[in-house]
Amino acid sequence: MNGGRKRRRRNRRLKARRGPPIHKLGEDLLLEIFLRLPSLATLVRAALTCRAWRHAVASSPSFRRRFRAAHPPPLLGLFFEPHGPVQAPNTPVFPSFVPARRRGRDLTAAVRGGDFFLTSLEDLPNEGPCWDIVDCCRGCVLLMNWDDESLVVFNPLTRWSADVFDLGHEDMFDGRRGHYAQVRPRLLISDDMLLAHDECRIRATVFSSDTWEWSVLPWVDVPASSGDDESWLQDDGGMQANGFLYWVYEDWKYLVSLDASTMEFCVTELPHSSGYSSFCVRETKDGTTCIVLSDDSDDLNIGVLMPTRGDDGVEKWVLDQIDLLDTELTRLLNDLVDEPSDLLVLAVCDGYVYLSTSEMYHDPQTPCWFLSLCLETMTLERLFRRTFDTPVHPYIMAWPPSLVGNFGRFALEGAPSH
């Protein structure tokens, strides 16, 4: 009796010293388990359990690469731009968020715990409640206040917002020729940028969050547009991939790219087509840049363009594959939609394309389906059904800094404690 109690006590002491049984698995095996977690949201919650687990994820770039490759992007939902904030000054206007449903309890927890109603913006001093969403990148949204002509970067998951800064710069149109215009502001990795164009030139203006100043870059000559449209650059969609920003000509002839690290422009010719209806540039899962498009024909097609260097050494975009989605779409949507006649590419990210079954403004009264398509397997998935009356921005959860390196209080952390 007495001996048994002693033994139990000793066992308990031994156990306490050894730590919980799961800690006997080495870091490699722990990461094997983590690799099988359903989403980034689950990984974040698991990794925050103890120091050793956070350290295992934060210290292994190869694990994070494998995790990314093995999982679809952690889409939390779509932001819809508000209805015409310009037309109704001083009326409270906010983008609306529609969560992607049934994607796991941890992704749901992220939506529930974040501020996707953007209520935090109401706390900003001296700003009217009139916000439009203009870009979305790495877990942050770029919001523009039309009334006050100001911009702010906000992270709905951390509820963090940067200070508000003024839109644009008065020097932006200096030295312009003929008609000129400014296209939507865009969010770079840490800075914001504006693009302006006149009749045949473009120029970038960059706001640095370090110096808190706009810098105006020189005008750059680009090929003339064939159309007589004064705004010859398309101004929609958040096209960003591998550190490059992209814009398409209204006449679909050229693609302008801007290397965000060097701020150098490059113009490439696009393959001739009778007409594209929608178009997006993003990186695929393996890190190459591709263009995904749907065209104007009656069939439901999704085409993928890949960059190819021709015999003359000039880089061109070549049609890599075209997939007829008719049968796949019919299978998926079954009899929910009578005749899905249009298919619009909304955005491409991490090898996934986000689509809608109707064009924007086509029929704002009737809801259409929002879908995701895996480019690798060409499998479609339903997100939700809603009216499509304003442009959308998919919100994809970003890897939190505390899992991609040892910063802040973890900067000096050496070997894991277990």
Q: What does DSSP assign to residue 378?
A: T
Q: Under the criterion CB under 8 A, does residue 287 sit at the interface with another protein? A: no
Phi, psi of 97 (to 5 degrees): -115, 135
Q: Does 331 bind another protein (CB under 8 A)?
A: no
Decide if residue 406 touches another protein (CB under 8 A).
no
Instruction: Produce one character per residue of 370-403: b if its CB has 16 or more CB atoms within 10 Å, e if not.
Output: bbbbebeeeebebbeebebebbbbbbbbbbbebb
Tokens 């009264």 identify what position? 365
Comparing CB distances to another protein, the nearer of 15 and 179 is 15
Among residues 6, 8, 10, 19, which is the contact residue for another protein, using CB under 8 A? Answer: 19
With CB under 8 A as the contact rule, the residue among 41, 130, 133, 239 that binds another protein is: 41
Q: Nearer Cβ to another protein, position 320 or 376?
A: 376
Q: Does 379 bind another protein (CB under 8 A)?
A: yes
Q: What is the 3-state secondary structure (H, E, C) of 163-227?
A: CCEECCCHHHHCCCCCCCEEEEEEECCCCEEEEEECCCEEEEEEEECCCCEEEECCCEECCCCCC
Q: Does 74 bind another protein (CB under 8 A)?
A: no
Q: Does 13 bind another protein (CB under 8 A)?
A: no
- Residues 169, 402, 404, 406: which binds another protein (CB under 8 A)? 402
What residue has token string 């969050």? 209
Non-local (6+) Cβ contacts of 52 within 8 A are: 23, 27, 416, 417, 418
Q: Does 405 bind another protein (CB under 8 A)?
A: no
Which of 9, 10, 18, 29 is the binder for another protein (CB under 8 A)? 29
Which of the residues 91 through 150 are near another protein (CB under 8 A)? 104-106, 109-110, 112-114
DSSP structure class, residue 249: B
Query: How close are the terminal C-alpha atoms of the chain, in Å?
Result: 35
Q: Which is nearer to another protein, 136 or 193 (CB)?
A: 136
Q: Of these, 166, 226, 376, 405, which contacts another protein (CB under 8 A)?
A: 376
Q: Can you give the binding site for another protein, defined by CB under 8 A? A: 19-25, 28-29, 32-38, 41-42, 44-46, 48-52, 69-70, 72, 104-106, 109-110, 112-114, 157-159, 374, 376-377, 379, 400-402, 408-410, 417
